[in-house]
Structure 1
Amino acid sequence: MNSNENNVKWFRSAAPYINAHRGKTFVLMFSGEAIQHDNFANIIHDIALLRSLGVKLVLVHGARVQIEQRLAAQAIAQHFANNVRITDAETLAAVKDATGSLRIHIDALLTMGLVNSPMHGAQIRVSSGNFVIAKPIGVRDGIDYKYTGLVRRVDAQGIKTQLNFGSIVLLSPVGYSSTGEVFNLALEDVAAQAAIALQADKLITLTEQSGLLDNQGALIRSCGVATVSQLLREQEDHVQQLLLKAIILCGKQGVERCHCVSYTSDSALLQELFTRDGSGTLVAKDHHEQLSAASIDDVGGILELIAPLEAEGVLVKRSRELLELEIDRFTVIKKEDVIIACGALYPYPEAKSGEIACLVIHPDYRGGNRGLRLIQALEQAAKRQNLSSIFVLTTVSAHWFIEQGYSEQAIDKLPEGKQRMYNIQRKSKAFAKTI
């Protein structure tokens, strides 16, 4: 397949994501280091593309490194307490200089429209102003933080008005008070509070790393807020702590999805938003229900859940003894310690494939996204086992699996071990998906 065919294939596969993102509100957060990086011009191009595809964008930029550069150039001493900058009058002047310069720089990049460039014909309007109302941190433990502040509120209606006009809204890490004062704010505070106030569909954070990393340094592809809270307890770097706290706050306050991707990669942002596997870390808002690997204590609950479908002939009957032997294959969703959904993954390593089986949702809990959550968890488990495809045999749920990206395949395409076990009388149809 040549490069043009690959491009067409990718564009077609991105269509569902384009449709899903159109009209949604994304808050995109990037630091002063990201702005200085050579790849920032490509990020600007991607921002223009998102806007062209109908995404409503709020950009929140940082300025820490630029503020420090100005203070160093003027030989102004920097003072911190509890890892928070104390902003005196001289420091505030540097804050205003840095944020004002960056705002103009970003405005200029978003205005470019040279022929044969990705920005040609974009005609982007950028709106910035006094959307963030701030308050002083004040005096804590005898320390006066002076012009360092916190977000008091975000003018969500004002921002939404600009977004509805088709503008990109640009927020700086400064806020204004009713007394006419200016306060130096944390980038993460502004981004999180903006996402919450706007009820944004996504908070996207651009970092130097490829995403959130576990304690072994491996990329975490997807997780819930509880996992981020655990990372926070293990994190010692203050800037990373601020990032994690912003993600946790957004997840707890209703922002459905937070993404963490690298600003050093040319393709990371678009891969994260328009491909199935993404490029960084997706943090989903925690559900009140708990999804986890099944344990031997769950055997009774699973048997009770699947019994009605076994009686109807929808599922192959499993004995308690067999289920106990295979319990490590199962994933369950629990609500108040009661199993309301389950699914299993049976690997066929020789074929680099796996079977999703026994996918059951309690009748009282159907209609949500529990089935989708389960198969996504099982797909991730298959990837961890280095499987390249998964399949399912079903007699009644064909359309649902097709909606989840599965395609019907011939029985003779199944792994040999599964073909030998195939029950001709059930006449199950096979559906497969590459992962």
Structure 2
Amino acid sequence: MDTRFPFVDWFRNASPYINAHRGRTFVILIEGEAVASGRSEQLIQDLALLHSLGVRLVVVFGIRPQVQAALAAAEVTPRRVNGRWVADRAVMATVEQVASHQRLWLEARLSLGLPSTPLHGVELNVISGNLVTAKPLGVREGVDFDHSGEVRRVRASAIEGLLDKGALVLLPPLGFSSTGEVFDLDASDVAQHAAVALKADKLILLGESEGLEDETGALLRQLSPYEAEPRLSQATPGSELARHLHAACQAAREGVARTHLLCWRNHDALLGELFTRDGVGTMITQHRYEQLRPATLNDVAGLLDLLEPLEQRGMLVARSRERLEHEIDDYVVIERDGMVIGCAALHAFSDAQLGELACVAVHANYRGGERGERLVEAIEQRARSRGIARLFVLTTHTAHWFVERGFAPASLDDLPPLKRETYNHARKSKVLIKALL
């Protein structure tokens, strides 16, 4: 009896990420809304799982809705300026009380180890303390922000020492000054500074939004800080989106390899983002998660996997491993997180100013994102740099696609002699040519 468990296939596919994340430092922000909604139980279990897989965790927690509720119950209305409340004595007393309660609650949940719970057998050393120093916002635009502050410094060496000992470090949205004062901080600001100071591999911001969307409402998987910052100027000052975008872009510019915008409402967001190739949210990074580059011999196995389905359908001529290895310098590939998802080749002919655009292929799961266009443009640029005046392509299935990109129908007589001699008449491939120079 063949019993299939989808989880097993997912687990196999996740193994490269399990290895890649082991020993890495992640700073994770959990906004107060996640705790207020009861969603934090699942997140705590996911954090325990990450810790058991060897991830070094720094968790920053927000308390905004809890403080707002406590102030409302006390009939205290804080003054707000540009999205920040002025932390006067009454507000600050509530902030300190709520932060202390929230920290103790999280520590208690992270200590849970009953046999009936997912944390059974997991021993987490959770440590917090005076790990963030702060300074007052001071007087801005004529407003004295009192005990509302901003991060001055994160004690990175102290946190590193705790992480080296296997601890999970918990950071509240509070900072301490050299004069012994306590300041109210923005949780996303704490997370950003912690990630930069620790040279973290990831900054993960869990908020209300699923991520950033394009004009059609489709999720944007990856952006550079340059691409994301125009959206920051459009966001409401002080809103969660504005705070998270600012933190993500700033962290990416200051060396954090990858920052992620995720929604805590999504039950699978954290693990789905970390252990699948495409993730579930928006990533902001200076480094291209997906890159187009010249192929190397290390790409041959990936090329074989990419091309085989298209060869079986008769869309491409079969290419052996030996042929790919021999012609590898002719190829460019699109690599996505270690996987070859697209390729194209330029075969030059010495007896004519004519080159062949060959083997244009994009993985079935990644079509529709203009990757084919990027591959053709890369080959055209390579051809021009070599003085090739015209490109030809032989195709059985996609003639219209190439015509839409400037190729025109041609005949066998227009091909170089060597290509005419090896033309496969059984395939009846159409010949198209495009002038480059």
TM over 0.5: yes
Alignment of 1:19-418 (within 5 A): 19-236=19-236, 238-285=239-286, 314=327, 356-358=343-345, 382-384=367-369, 417=397
* CA deviation after TM superposition for structure 1 residue 143, in Å: 1.3
* CA deviation after TM superposition for structure 1 residue 221, in Å: 1.2
Following the alignment from structure 1 to structure 2, what is the Cα–Cα distance between the partners of residues 185 and 92? 11
**2:378 paired residue number:** none
- Aligned-partner SS, 2:259: strand
Identity of aligned residues (%): 39
After superposition, what is the alpha-carbon deviation per residue over 1:196-242, rounded to whole angstroms, capped at 9, x for unaligned? 00000000011122222234433111121112112112222532111
Following the alignment from structure 2 to structure 1, what is the Cα–Cα distance between the partners of residues 224 and 371? 23
Following the alignment from structure 2 to structure 1, what is the Cα–Cα distance between the partners of residues 364 and 158? 42
- Aligned-partner SS, 1:314: helix
Kindly tell me the number of residue pairs found equivalent between the two proteins.
331
Following the alignment from structure 2 to structure 1, what is the Cα–Cα distance between the partners of residues 371 and 24? 34
Aligned residues of 2:332 and 2:344 also touching (Cα < 8 A):
no
* CA deviation after TM superposition for structure 1 residue 255, in Å: 0.2
- Aligned-partner SS, 2:87: coil
* Residue identity in the other structure for 1:12: R
Aligned residues of 2:292 and 2:334 also touching (Cα < 8 A):
no
After superposition, what is the alpha-carbon deviation per residue over 1:303-325, rounded to whole angstroms, capped at 9, x for unaligned? xxxxxxxxx983899xxxxxxxx
Following the alignment from structure 1 to structure 2, what is the Cα–Cα distance between the partners of residues 3 and 210? 34
* CA deviation after TM superposition for structure 1 residue 35, in Å: 1.1
Following the alignment from structure 2 to structure 1, what is the Cα–Cα distance between the partners of residues 114 and 147? 41
Aligned residues of 1:344 and 1:378 also touching (Cα < 8 A):
no
RMSD value over aligned CA atoms?
3.5
**TM-score, normalised on structure 2?**
0.69
Following the alignment from structure 2 to structure 1, what is the Cα–Cα distance between the partners of residues 329 and 251? 43
**1:432 paired residue number:** none
After superposition, what is the alpha-carbon deviation per residue over 1:14-39, rounded to whole angstroms, capped at 9, x for unaligned? 11000000000000001110112232
Following the alignment from structure 1 to structure 2, what is the Cα–Cα distance between the partners of residues 417 and 269? 41
* Residue identity in the other structure for 2:150: L
- Aligned-partner SS, 2:113: coil
Greater CA drift, 240-249 or 206-215:
206-215
Following the alignment from structure 1 to structure 2, what is the Cα–Cα distance between the partners of residues 380 and 195? 33
- Aligned-partner SS, 1:264: coil
- Aligned-partner SS, 1:258: strand
Aligned residues of 1:199 and 1:255 also touching (Cα < 8 A):
yes
Following the alignment from structure 2 to structure 1, what is the Cα–Cα distance between the partners of residues 241 and 196? 20
Greater CA drift, 263-272 or 31-40:
31-40
Following the alignment from structure 1 to structure 2, what is the Cα–Cα distance between the partners of residues 118 and 138? 45
Aligned residues of 1:226 and 1:286 also touching (Cα < 8 A):
no
* CA deviation after TM superposition for structure 1 residue 157, in Å: 0.6
- Aligned-partner SS, 1:265: coil
* CA deviation after TM superposition for structure 1 residue 356, in Å: 2.1
Q: CA 1:126/1:316 → structure 2, altered by over 3 Å: closer, same or farther?
A: closer
* Residue identity in the other structure for 2:189: D
Aligned residues of 1:37 and 1:264 also touching (Cα < 8 A):
no
**TM-score, normalised on structure 1?**
0.69
Can you give the 5+ residue segments of structure 2 that lack an aligned partner in the other structure?
294-324, 336-340, 348-359, 376-394, 399-411, 413-418, 424-437
Aligned residues of 2:211 and 2:220 also touching (Cα < 8 A):
yes
Following the alignment from structure 1 to structure 2, what is the Cα–Cα distance between the partners of residues 267 and 2? 28
Aligned residues of 1:148 and 1:184 also touching (Cα < 8 A):
yes
Following the alignment from structure 1 to structure 2, what is the Cα–Cα distance between the partners of residues 379 and 232? 33
After superposition, what is the alpha-carbon deviation per residue over 1:361-386, rounded to whole angstroms, capped at 9, x for unaligned? xxxxxxxxxxxxxx9x9888625479
**2:305 paired residue number:** none
- Aligned-partner SS, 1:271: helix
After superposition, what is the alpha-carbon deviation per residue over 1:100-123, rounded to whole angstroms, capped at 9, x for unaligned? 111011111101111132110011
Can you give the 5+ residue segments of structure 1 that lack an aligned partner in the other structure?
293-311, 318-340, 346-353, 361-374, 391-414, 427-435
After superposition, what is the alpha-carbon deviation per residue over 1:23-65, rounded to whole angstroms, capped at 9, x for unaligned? 0000000111011223221111100000000000000000111
Q: CA 1:344/1:359 → structure 2, altered by over 3 Å: closer, same or farther?
A: farther
* Residue identity in the other structure for 2:29: M
